[in-house]
Amino acid sequence: MFETLQSQPADKILALMQMYRDDPRDTKIDLGVGVYKDATGLTPVMRAVKAAEQQIWQSQDSKVYTGLIGDPAFSDAMIELVLAGAVPRDTVAAAATPGGTGAVRQAFELIQMARPDARVFVSDPTWPNHLSILKYLGMEVVNYRYFDDESRGVDFDGMIADLSKAHAGDVILLHGCCHNPTGANLNASEWDAVIKVLQETGATPMIDIAYQGFGDGLAEDAAATRKIAAAVPECLIAASCSKNFGIYRERTGLLMAIAADPAARKLNQDTLAFLNRQNYSFPPDHGARIVTTILNDAALREDWMQELEDVRGTMLNLRTQLAGELQRLSGSDRFGFLAQHRGMFSRLGTTPEKVEELRAKHGVYMVSDSRMNIAGLNQQTIPILARAIIDVGI
Ligand code: LMR
């Protein structure tokens, strides 16, 4: 029977990971998949994660199933981390999911169950897997303008004009912070304008927040999410713990569905449990338990926040240094946007041909849309990358 299968398009981020592994050059630079790396190129296990794992190892006496939505303590801890009381707790339904991608997938399925004809508005560009999952589920996608090729910032007027075409029953997918793949983000007053559009159109926001703590700080990065959730009757939030807790392979995420009032919450909660049961039954627990342990222990939480701040500071420094080096080499300010962008990524804003030239000639690996993982850089590779960028004529 399987001879009828059609081969599927390769995920460009994952294909790049493999190409990098296969490249024998020891001068190669990996700016591909969104994984934090320290100055030595390692993706370390965070101190608080190690300590929490030790506690769990010592105290856990059973691996019996949790519940269909995972351990409620994980939901409570994450709802507090992301929303910090911005909406009444009794309006928030939540379910643990396998990573942020699991939360995104479950959110799309929830939308499809509620409104089979819903259109999902996505930024142009967005994380390629958003598009891939939406296509797989047969959902209608509408692009809204986002990245301005000239300024490498947000095409804010274009974005608002496109979002204004949404209506009640549509969903507007927003990146809560650290936009992936561009690194270009809205400021506070621009977020206010987006809220106004949400209120005027009646469209439902879905916020993907996968990099909380990687941009301007834990609270700052959640500020837009909190404001939106408080300003509209219903909202979906897909949160990931992969990056800010560095527990990528543990697959730890949470989907939150905020209802207009406490009475409407139960149906959302039951539906999230139903969806988990259909797709994988019980969500993975180990990562969720690590996160819960850290967030509920004052000392571990403090240590985690400190290490996350260090990670954030490292990425900001790399941005500033790369922008500075490019300014020195090019004699122009045209790369200043790199220091303005936030999060792990920056879109360089060049053609796939130039990206290919960077790979072939200089062993620099970035996604074909010119998304660079800034955390893939270090003191030694910044000047090499800057010279390569100038050399290929970007
Ligand atoms: C990325 O965008 O590189 C990460 O979110 C990893 C992934 O799964 O694509």
Shortest CA distance to 128 belongs to which of 16, 275, 287? Answer: 16
| 34 ligand 1 Cβ < 6 A | yes
Our measurement of the distance from residue 10's CA atom to the centroid of its chain's CA atoms, rounded to an integer in Å, reads 20
Atom 6 (ligand 1) nearest CA:
34
| 13 ligand 1 Cβ < 6 A | yes
Of residues 142 and 9, more confidence is placed in 142
Whole-number CA gyration radius for the chain:
21
Q: Tell how far the Cα of 55 is from the centroid of ligand 1, in angstroms.
A: 30
Which two three-digit tokens encode residue 116? Answer: 């089979």
Catalytic residue among 77, 210, 222, 323: 210
pLDDT 10s digits, 87-136: 999 999 999 999 999 999 999 999 999 999 999 999 999 999 999 999 99
pLDDT at 10: 86
Catalytic residue among 162, 222, 243, 288: 243
Instruction: Look up residue 18 and give its DSSP letter.
Output: H
**Cβ partners under 8 Å of residue 107, min gap 6:** 206, 236, 238, 255, 257
The one-letter code for the residue type at 281 is S
Catalytic residue among 52, 94, 127, 221: 127
Length of the chain equals 394
Model confidence band, residue 11 (pLDDT cutoffs 50, 70, 90): confident
**CATH of region 65-296:** 3.40.640.10
Atom of ligand 1 nearest to the CA of 129: 9
Shortest CA distance to 350 belongs to which of 334, 339, 362, 363? Answer: 334
Model confidence band, residue 212 (pLDDT cutoffs 50, 70, 90): very high
Atom 2 (ligand 1) nearest CA:
34
Atom of ligand 1 nearest to the CA of 240: 5
Burial of 55 (0-12, 13-18, 19+ CB in 10 A): middle
The Cα 211–Cα 35 span in angstroms is 11
Atom 4 (ligand 1) nearest CA:
34
Q: Tell how far the Cα of 40 is from the centroid of ligand 1, in angstroms.
A: 21
When pLDDT is averaged across residues 290-297 and rounded to a whole number, the result is 98
Which two three-digit tokens encode residue 379? Answer: 């003191």
pLDDT 10s digits, 224-257: 999 999 999 999 999 999 999 999 999 999 999 9
pLDDT 10s digits, 181-205: 999 999 999 999 999 999 999 999 9
| 180 ligand 1 Cβ < 6 A | yes
| Ligand 1 pocket, mutate which of 30, 31, 105, 127 (most atoms under 8 A from CB) | 127
When pLDDT is averaged across residues 133-152 and rounded to a whole number, the result is 97
Q: Are 290 and 70 in contact (CB under 8 A)?
A: no
Annotated catalytic residue 51? no
When pLDDT is averaged across residues 137-151 and rounded to a whole number, the result is 97
High-pLDDT (> 70) share of the chain, %: 100
Helix, strand, coil shares of the chain, percent, nearest 5, are 50, 15, 35
| 343 ligand 1 Cβ < 6 A | no
Atom of ligand 1 nearest to the CA of 181: 2
Is 90 exceeded by the pLDDT of residue 313? yes
pLDDT 10s digits, 12-41: 898 999 999 999 998 899 999 999 999 888
The Cα 3–Cα 188 span in angstroms is 53
Q: At how many degrees (to 10) do helices 381-391 and 298-330 cross?
A: 40
pLDDT at 385: 96
Catalytic residue among 208, 221, 285, 369: 208
Q: Are 69 and 103 in contact (CB under 8 A)?
A: no
The SS3 of residue 347 is strand
pLDDT at 317: 97
- Which residues belong to CATH 3.90.1150.10 in the chain? 11-45+300-391
When pLDDT is averaged across residues 345-358 and rounded to a whole number, the result is 96
Atom of ligand 1 nearest to the CA of 11: 9
When pLDDT is averaged across residues 330-348 and rounded to a whole number, the result is 97
- Which residues belong to CATH 3.40.640.10 in the chain? 65-296
pLDDT at 222: 98
Is 90 exceeded by the pLDDT of residue 298? yes
Query: What's the CATH number of domain 11-45+300-391, 1.10.1510.10, 3.40.47.10, 1.20.1530.20, 3.90.1150.10?
Result: 3.90.1150.10
Q: How far apart are the first and last CA of the chain?
A: 49
| 156 ligand 1 Cβ < 6 A | no
Atom of ligand 1 nearest to the CA of 242: 5
Is 90 exceeded by the pLDDT of residue 294? yes
The one-letter code for the residue type at 384 is I
Q: Which residue has the tokens 């949160």?
A: 239
The SS3 of residue 279 is helix
Shortest CA distance to 153 belongs to which of 129, 109, 186, 201? Answer: 186
Atom of ligand 1 nearest to the CA of 33: 3
Annotated catalytic residue 243? yes
The one-letter code for the residue type at 103 is A
Q: Which residues pair with 123 in a beta bridge?
A: 144
**Cβ partners under 8 Å of residue 126, min gap 6:** 146, 173, 175, 180, 181
High-pLDDT (> 90) share of the chain, %: 97
| 127 ligand 1 Cβ < 6 A | yes
Q: Tell how far the Cα of 329 is from the centroid of ligand 1, in angstroms.
A: 31
Shortest CA distance to 238 belongs to which of 124, 137, 39, 101? Answer: 101
When pLDDT is averaged across residues 61-90 and rounded to a whole number, the result is 98
Assembly ipTM: 0.93
Shortest CA distance to 371 belongs to which of 216, 199, 178, 218? Answer: 178
Q: Tell how far the Cα of 358 is from the centroid of ligand 1, in angstroms.
A: 21
Q: Tell how far the Cα of 119 is from the centroid of ligand 1, in angstroms.
A: 24
Count, in order, helices (H) and strands (E) of the chain: 14, 11
Annotated catalytic residue 127? yes
